[in-house]
Amino acid sequence: MSKTKAPGAGGPAERAAQLRAELARHDHAYYVLQKPSISDRAYDALYRELADLEAAHPDLATPDSPTRRVGSELPEGEKFATIPHRRPMLSLDNTYNEEEVRHFDAETVRKRLAKEGVSEAPEYAVELKIDGTAVSLWYERGVFVRGLTRGDGTRGEEITANLRTLKEIPLRLLTAGEPPAFVELRGEVYLPRTEFERTNKEREDAGLETFVNPRNAAAGALKQKNPAAVAERRLHIFIHTPGEMEGASFSRYHEFLDAVKAWGLPVNPHRAVCASIDGVLAFIAEYEKKRHGYDYDTDGIVVKVDQLALHRTLGTTSKAPRYAIAYKYKPEEAETTVLDIEAHVGKTGVLTPRARFEPVFVSGTTVTYASLHNQDEIDRKDIRIGDRVIVEKAGEIIPQVVRVLTEKRAGDLPKYRLPSKCPVCGTKTVRREDEVALRCPNARCPGRFRERIVYFASRGCMDIEALGEKMIDRLIGAGLLKDLPDIYALDRSKLIELERMGEKSVDNVLANIEASKKNDLARLLAALNIPHVGTRNAELLAEHFETLEALRAAPAEKLEQVEGVGEVLAAAIVAFFQDADERRRLDALVAAGLNTRSLTAATRKQAAAAGGPFAGKVFVLTGTLAKLGREEASQLIKDRGGKTASSVSKKTDYVLAGEEAGSKLKKAEQLGVKVIDEAEFERMLKG
């Protein structure tokens, strides 16, 4: 153990401060400047000395200490707090060609400035658009105190503990003098491609589902409740936008970025200031190919007016600033060969054709498969096994076949037809009237059950992360999973016998499964694969009936009383609960200890009983809200004991009207129903 100095001059307090400052400088040199200033062994020695000092003198530990980067796991059942942004985190309008960029310059910027009597010519700051997940960092007196996700743009989830694990984020700003009273820095958290490949390899080895792309991996990491798991993901960040500031001001956007860099945070080095729109277009052209040479995904160029005073003049719309746009590059295309077309059986029995390619690198990842959707799509594009095709990623995420290079077709290749028998169980396939899809009608088809299990465990349903597709396939192959209730009967001794399943992997699987038992009833209903019941309908049904028992016993006429449930859906729900196999399956899940009550309904009933401006009140929403989505506003009303309705009547208490409100507003005025705007709604929320 390192020896500590005696208290007094040059004692532990002074030494701890020296070590914190020195480690911060080394972190900045290594993670931001990418120029290590010390060996790993020497760094570890300094870190251990500081840790020993803080252990011996707990009062010396400070929030900005490097030893405090990885905090404690969020308690079980506790959610991330939702915090309002000091100013909305708006998205950017997209442009896709030179003409649209020039229109932005001439019409959105110059014409509006002229209309406001501003003669100053705009200059433009341009930089790479990072394909990651947006966050906001708050610093008070130079100390990092809070980190938020973008959320809905007006409020985000507090993920401070997770962001502290990013060593590129200084826990204290590197300022020579007095730091600003408050600065909010907005940026993009991303996962480098090399780390993405490493993470997916580790997950594949552990039998977990791999991530689709680096952006999903980064976003998923930030939602982890255990900061130690976030630290293992090795995320990075680039700062790109100023938020609220007190004690710091800048006249130019590029000056803000220079200051951020001096404070010790990373900004993208591939940026410039252009005196004209021609310079912007030249920068866009220069980086169209260059962008693929970096260790992170980019999907375009961000163009901002450099003069910050002009930002205030130009203002914003309800969704995006007028002083900035994102130029999106055309998706990268690549040529490859269709090696095979495979029919994949879904949870409802629908056969989906999937092309298997000769592996090809497109937009940052290697592509091997792409969905061909259905027989009509195959016929329309005339895709055949053996064809040379052009593939791209829609939105730079989902691989798809753009076109067939028929001029390169080798001979008379046969046309592809989906099989007349299910490729899994051999049952004759059917095509329902007025449907494009071909189906396996066998309700006991192993292929369908495999997909039901995958869907049941998915994030939007029971959220059993450790049960990814690869793990499910291993469990099915070992005979441990044959039906949904088998998930909750998995035995530790059987799991540990599986190849490449260590103690940690088994603990992770069993912990995930156990945690899923506490999910809200709405998640269970969504996971059961009831025909036509998705996430939204599941929430409505759970809240209305409150318990699974009440829902199972409900006749069609009672089901039709639920918002959004019509005759067809009601009949499908009744038929599902009357099916002998589904009843047996559901009874087994209930016996396994799954929660069968709506937790949300209970909370909202308590809110209604407690009184307040929303309790028992009926709201109708119409038009476009500037800050809140209508879905979010509805949730806020219900969480406070209110109700929402789709049409205005004498029973309506309030009509919340946004921009371009239509006939509902007129109906409210005719009936004398009180109309409120978003500002009044926010005052009610605060009250």
**Residue 31: DSSP 8-state:** I
Q: Identify whether the C-beta of residue 43 lies closer than 8 Å to the C-beta of residue 13.
A: no
Can you read off the two tokens belonging to residue 56? Answer: 């011996």
Two tokens at 242? 């100023």
**Residue 337 amino acid letter:** T
> Which two structure tokens, joined as six digits, stand for 322?
């007028």
148 three-class SS: strand
Residue position matching structure tokens 């005196």: 275
Total Cβ atoms within 10 A of residue 541: 28
Q: Are 680 and 646 in contact (CB under 8 A)?
A: no
* Residue found under tokens 């600003």: 180
CA atoms of 658 and 677, how far apart (whole Å) = 6
| CA-wise closest residue to 387 among 397, 366, 365, 372 | 372
Please, are residues 192 and 296 in contact by the beta-carbon 8 Å criterion?
A: yes
β-strands 654-657, 674-676 pairing: parallel
Q: Residue 553 — φ and ψ, nearest 5°?
A: -90, -5
Per the CB < 8 A criterion, the answer to whether 558 and 586 are in contact is no
The residues that are catalytic are 129
CA separation, residue 157 to residues 87, 136, 455 (Å): 15, 10, 26
Q: Is the four-CA dihedral 205, 394, 529, 435 of positive or negative sign? A: negative
Q: Closest Cα partner for 374 from 393, 350, 357?
A: 350
Using H for helix, E for strand and C for coil, what is the string for 94-122?
EECCHHHHHHHHHHHHHHHHHHCCCCCCC
Distance of CA 637 to the CA centre of its chain: 24
Point out which residues pair with 185 in neighbouring strands.
137, 242
Question: What is the tally of helices (H) and strands (E) in the chain?
Answer: 26, 21
Alpha helices in 521-566 (DSSP H): 521-527, 535-545, 548-553, 556-559
Task: Tell me how far apart the alpha carbons of residues 295 and 474 are, in angstroms, rounded to a whole number.
Answer: 33
Cβ atoms within 10 Å of 579's Cβ, excluding its own: 13
Beta strands in 198-263 (DSSP E): 236-246
Please check whether residue 541 is in contact with residue 525, taking contact to mean a CB–CB distance below 8 angstroms.
yes
| CA–CA distances in Å: residue 659 to residues 26, 87, 172, 318 | 52, 20, 42, 9
How far apart, in whole angstroms, are the C-alpha atoms of residue 225 and residue 161? Answer: 9
CB-based burial of residue 394 (10 Å sphere; 0-12 exposed, 13-18 middle, 19+ buried)?
exposed
- In 3D space, the residue among 89, 84, 218, 215 whose CA is nearest the CA of residue 163 turns out to be 218
Task: Please give the helix or strand (H or E) that residue 28 lies within, else none.
Answer: none
